[in-house]
Amino acid sequence: MSGSLNGNSASSGGGATGAGGDDFFDQMLSSLPSPWADLANPKSPWDLTTGANAPRSGEDCGGYDESALLASRLRQHQISGSGSPAGAKPMMLHQMLMSAAGRAPGGGAGAGAGGAGDPSGFFPLPLSLGRDDVEGAFKSPNGTGAEGLFNGYGGGLPGAAQANNQPPFHHAQQGAPMPAQNFGGAAPNAGAQAPAPAASGGGAAAPPRQRVRARRGQATDPHSIAERLRRERIAERMKALQELVPNANKTDKASMLDEIIDYVKFLQLQVKVLSMSRLGGAAAVAPLVANMSSEGQGGSNGAGGSDSSLTVTEQQVAKLMEEDMGSAMQYLQGKGLCLMPISLASAISSATCHPRASASHLGGGPAAAAAHHLILPGPQAQPNSNNHVNPDGPSSPNLSGLTAQSAMANGNADSHKDASSA
């Protein structure tokens, strides 16, 4: 937006000396969003003929009535909560300030106008800068005063920035040190104020382009639109992840990320431990399957093992399998059955199946259903002091693995299974 102002001032710089102050006003006001314009028009902030309505009585810029008036008007708008439009103005002023302040050396303590610590404390500064120009170039306070003021923005601020080198104004000699001082005084204020209006502006004014200033919360800048889209997508995916991960407290993003990371680590650890525990199981799978199937079909089929029930079971399993493999397996397991490819079944049934002694139960802790106990396989039931069974080999590493597994699995398996089957 500062660019727009500069452009305006530059374009009307030549013709600003004459009439056409209204044109300039219209240009400016039309470039602003309608609320601002609506605000501006009825209240006619730039109407300098209204009396000195200067809440800022501390102006030491003696004859700077117009600037004081303008400052007061601007501040009124800002305070009246006109939101971003009012914030737009100080934003633009800020940018010019900041760009200029970078080049101007910090002077002494600013005038009372600059250093009052007021939210609009920096207002008088550019106004006073422009004031120089107004005074010098136009010498007409009324209609073209503000216009000249804004003229001074384009030419005044950068000009005043180099005030030390060459004051561009006619009699800016006395004005130059003044702006420099005001710069120094207002720069800290400007620095403090920069974040606040910048935040309200939504960053749309940052790139000095000629575009309409968007209302708060929106942006016409393609970059910020893309940014917003991206943020929305990320939020969407975070929500989806929240549903997957069990402890979805809906707290902030950071803790949610931590939760997700921990969960992934936990699952990977579970895979690792389960693969360890299956060592005996993998060997036992082959013969056991035959046992299970024969037993399951034979008599231990809770409801009575007839053929009809088997087909019913099959249909049930098929239905379950469509949704979730895990629940299908659980269903089968609850019935004492298992699912396997036909080739494997035939291969297994041909093998000799020697019965394995059932291992002792591990940790019958807070298990909801008895079927969810984690049972470790073992070639022989060798009750240790901890009631653990070692598949083979030395005891210590297996013990630690088994303990971890039981502790983890019993504590979490139920919750996970319940959560997943829900």
Partner 1 sequence: MQALHFLQALARIARAAPKPAHSARTRQIRHAAYASMAHSSRSSRRTWSRALLHRLRQRQQQRPGRLLTVRRRVRIVTPITSRPEEPARAETLRQLVPGGRGMEYCNLLEETADYVQCLRAQVQLMQTLLDAFSS
Angle between helices 83-101 and 2-13 (to 10 degrees): 70
Interaction residues for partner 1, span 6-35 (CB under 8 A): none
**What is the DSSP annotation of 295-333?**
HHHHT--TT---HHHHHHHHHHHHHHHHH-HHHHHHHHH
Q: Which runs of E-coded beta strand occur in 12-116?
A: none
Binding residue (CB under 8 A) for partner 1 from 79, 225, 286, 368: 286
- 265 touching partner 1, by CB under 8 A: yes
Question: Applying CB under 8 A, what is the total number of residues that bind partner 1?
Answer: 68
Interaction residues for partner 1, span 335-374 (CB under 8 A): 338-341, 344, 347, 358-359, 371-374
Residue nearer to partner 1 on the CB measure, 98 or 338? 338
Distances (CA, A) of 280 to 80, 276, 353: 77, 9, 15
Residue nearer to partner 1 on the CB measure, 139 or 233? 233
Instruction: Name the residue among 395, 394, 363, 362 with its Cα closest to residue 377.
Output: 362
- 199 touching partner 1, by CB under 8 A: no
Q: DSSP label at 214?
A: P
Shortest gap between Cβ of 402 and partner 1 (angstroms)?
12
CA dist., res. 122 & res. 96, Å (int): 12
Residue nearer to partner 1 on the CB measure, 30 or 275? 275
Instruction: Name the residue among 157, 150, 154, 155 with its Cα closest to residue 100.
Output: 157
Residue nearer to partner 1 on the CB measure, 118 or 221? 221
Site string for partner 1, 214-253 (x = CB under 8 A): ----------------x--xx--xx-xx--xx-------x
Alpha helices (H) in 177-252, listed in sequence order: 177-193, 195-201, 222-244
- 317 touching partner 1, by CB under 8 A: no
Whole-angstrom distance between the N-terminal and C-terminal Cα of the chain? Answer: 55
Q: Which residues would be at the binding site for partner 1 (CB under 8 A)?
A: 230, 233-234, 237-238, 240-241, 244-245, 253-254, 257-258, 260-261, 263-265, 267-268, 270-272, 274-286, 288-289, 292, 324-326, 329-330, 332-333, 338-341, 344, 347, 358-359, 371-377, 392-393, 409, 413, 416-417, 420
